[in-house]
Structure 1
Amino acid sequence: MKKYNIKNDIFNLTVSDHGAEITSLLKNGRELMWHADPAFWGRTSPVLFPQVGAVWEKKYRYEGKTYEMGQHGFARDMDFKMISQTSDELVFELRDSEDTKAKYPFDFVLKLGYKLTDDKVEVIWEVENPSDRDMFFSIGGHPAFNCDLNKDKLLFMNKESKVLGNLTSHVVSLDGSGCLSDKTKEVVLEDGVLDLKPELFDEDALVIEDRQADTVAIIAADGETIVTVSFDAPLFGVWSPDHKNAPFVCIEPWYGRCDRTGFTGDLSEREYVNKLGAGEKFKVSYTIA
Structure 2
Amino acid sequence: MSLHVLKNNDIAIKVEDHGAELRSLTKIDSGKEFMFQADPKYWGRTSPVLFPIVGGLWENKYIYDGVTYELPKHGFARDMDFNLVKETSDELLFELKDTEETMKVYPFKFALQIGYKLEGSKVTVTYNVKNDNDGTFYFSIGAHPAFTCDLNTDELLFEKNGAAVKDTLKSGVIDMSSGCLSEKVIDVKTTEGVLALEPKLFDEDALIFEDRQSDSVTIIRKDDADKVKVSFDAPLFGVWSPDKKNAPFVCIEPWNGRCDRVGYGHALEKREHGNRLEKGESFNTAFSIEIL
Output aligned runs, 1:268-287, within 5 Å. 268-287=269-288
AA partner of residue 59 (structure 1): K
Structure-1 separation of matches of 2:45 and 2:117: 21
Describe the SS at the equivalent of 1:128. Answer: strand
Structure-2 separation of matches of 1:234 and 1:163: 16
Would the aligned equivalents of 1:188 and 1:194 in 2 still touch at CA under 8 Å?
yes
Describe the SS at the equivalent of 1:101. Answer: helix
CA RMSD of aligned residues (A): 1.0
Deviation at 1:94, TM superposition (A): 0.2
User: Normalising by structure 2, what TM-score?
Assistant: 0.97
Deviation at 1:37, TM superposition (A): 0.4
Structure-2 separation of matches of 1:225 and 1:192: 19
Structure-2 separation of matches of 1:135 and 1:6: 33
Q: Does 1:119 align with 2:113?
A: no
Describe the SS at the equivalent of 2:227. Answer: strand
Deviation at 1:132, TM superposition (A): 1.2
Aligned to 1:139: 141
Aligned to 1:149: 151
User: Normalising by structure 1, what TM-score?
Assistant: 0.98
Aligned to 1:254: 255
Per-residue CA shift, 1:95-123, capped at 9, x if unaligned? 00100001101000000000000121000
The percent of aligned pairs where both chains have the same amino acid is 57
Structure-1 separation of matches of 2:18 and 2:121: 26
Structure-2 separation of matches of 1:256 and 1:205: 14
Aligned to 1:33: 35
Structure-1 separation of matches of 2:27 and 2:263: 44
Q: Does 1:20 align with 2:20?
A: yes
**Which of 57, 61, 68 is the equivalent residue of 2:63?**
61
Describe the SS at the equivalent of 1:200. Answer: helix
Describe the SS at the equivalent of 1:31. Answer: coil
Structure 1: give runs of 5+ residues left out of the alignment: none
Structure-2 separation of matches of 1:37 and 1:160: 34
Per-residue CA shift, 1:183-208, capped at 9, x if unaligned? 00000100100000000000000000
Aligned to 1:194: 195
Would the aligned equivalents of 2:61 and 2:266 in 1 still touch at CA under 8 Å?
no
Deviation at 1:225, TM superposition (A): 4.5
Describe the SS at the equivalent of 1:33. Answer: coil
Aligned to 1:98: 100
Aligned to 2:204: 203
Would the aligned equivalents of 2:116 and 2:126 in 1 still touch at CA under 8 Å?
yes
AA partner of residue 6 (structure 1): L
Deviation at 1:277, TM superposition (A): 0.4
Structure-1 separation of matches of 2:219 and 2:184: 26
Deviation at 1:131, TM superposition (A): 1.6
Deviation at 1:163, TM superposition (A): 3.6
Describe the SS at the equivalent of 1:182. Answer: strand
Structure-2 separation of matches of 1:81 and 1:120: 24
Deviation at 1:164, TM superposition (A): 3.0
Deviation at 1:222, TM superposition (A): 4.8
Structure-2 separation of matches of 1:125 and 1:160: 24
Structure-1 separation of matches of 2:237 and 2:197: 17
Aligned to 1:88: 90
AA partner of residue 11 (structure 1): I
